[in-house]
């Protein structure tokens, strides 16, 4: 069994990005600039955004963190987005989800300039991804593809089962895995809460991407020998033995699944670091494309 080490791989990619930024600045250019908009004080979102800002510093990017209260109106948020769209010194930005219930997330995401949509959620980028055109890939699926590429995980002709159909992970992952590329060329089955016979479908899969947000859902008896397992889930579970008061669990029961795998991602340290580094790659792409 080979552990797909997203932490080590992300460090390698950060080194490559830092060298590109160093060359850009040495030649008289300004460094890439990434902004993050955080609405409210959700602990998990704040931790995630803070790690993005720290990663920017590590590779030589400029970064901005824009915080707004939960009470921010939809109109105020849309006005902020208009300002970010028109800022020529800003290469890309993200709106950290989820947003308060009184704000229409779709309206907000549609307002983002696709050229600065380094999260890859705007319909223009999604459409270009479907057509195989140059675009910003959604950060988590893009990170998974890069991890598979760097570990040379065989995918051609394989049966890939994706558990979850979210627009952030499941749906784009299913598109990327079936494209005529390497990694890719899979036969893909996308499953969800209404899927019948999910256990049997998983047992037939050569590759499983678990992205449903239910801790330790995928058990050892649902996986065949030699399968490749990508665990996208990350859930905080109370744990009084930890200083933080919680521990992190993925969607895969690692203890029962890992002995049967050819490749598997850990939680934490698997997909998470690759998500952040893909965001950095997208921002560098935005900067160099100007």
| Residues annotated as part of the active site | 52, 96, 119
3-state secondary structure of 224: coil
CB 51 within 8 A of CB 43: no
| Alpha carbon distance 27, 5 (integer Å) | 34
Cβ neighbours of residue 155 under 8 Å, at least 6 residues apart? 148, 177, 182, 183, 184, 185, 186, 207
Pairing type for strands 235-238 and 246-249 reads antiparallel
Q: Which residues of 239-267 are buried (b: 16+ CB within 10 A; e: fewer)?
A: eeeeeeeeebbbbbbbeebbebbebbbbb
How many Cα neighbours within 13 Å face the side chain of 63? 19
- Residue 68's DSSP bridge partners are 39
Q: Which tokens in the block code for residue 71?
A: 């009470």
């Amino acid at each position: 069994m080979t552990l797909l080490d997203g932490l080590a791989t992300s460090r390698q990619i950060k080194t490559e990005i830092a060298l590109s930024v160093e060359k850009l600045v040495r030649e008289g250019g300004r460094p890439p600039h990434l902004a993050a908009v955080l609405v409210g004080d959700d602990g998990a979102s704040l931790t995630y955004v803070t790690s993005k800002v720290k990663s920017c510093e590590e590779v030589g990017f400029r970064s901005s963190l824009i915080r707004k209260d939960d009470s921010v109106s939809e109109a105020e948020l849309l006005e902020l987005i208009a300002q970010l769209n028109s800022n020529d010194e800003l290469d890309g930005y993200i709106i950290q989800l989820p947003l308060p219930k009184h704000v229409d997330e779709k309206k907000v995401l549609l307002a983002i300039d696709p050229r600065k949509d380094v999260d890859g959620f705007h319909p223009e980028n999604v459409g270009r991804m479907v057509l195989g055109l140059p675009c910003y890939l959604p950060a988590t699926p893009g990170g998974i593809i890069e991890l598979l590429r760097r570990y040379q995980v065989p995918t051609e002709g394989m049966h890939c089962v994706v558990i979850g159909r979210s627009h952030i992970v499941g749906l784009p992952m299913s598109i990327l895995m079936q494209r005529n590329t390497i990694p890719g060329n899979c036969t893909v089955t996308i499953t969800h809460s209404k899927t019948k016979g999910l256990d049997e479908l998983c047992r037939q899969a050569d590759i499983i991407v678990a992205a449903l947000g239910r801790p330790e859902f995928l058990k050892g008896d649902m996986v065949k020998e030699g399968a490749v397992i990508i665990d996208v889930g990350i859930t905080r579970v109370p744990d009084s033995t930890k200083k933080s008061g919680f521990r992190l669990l993925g969607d895969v029961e690692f203890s029962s699944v890992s002995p049967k795998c050819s490749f598997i991602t850990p939680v934490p340290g698997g997909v998470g670091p690759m998500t952040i580094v893909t965001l950095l790659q997208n921002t560098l792409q935005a900067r160099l494309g100007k």
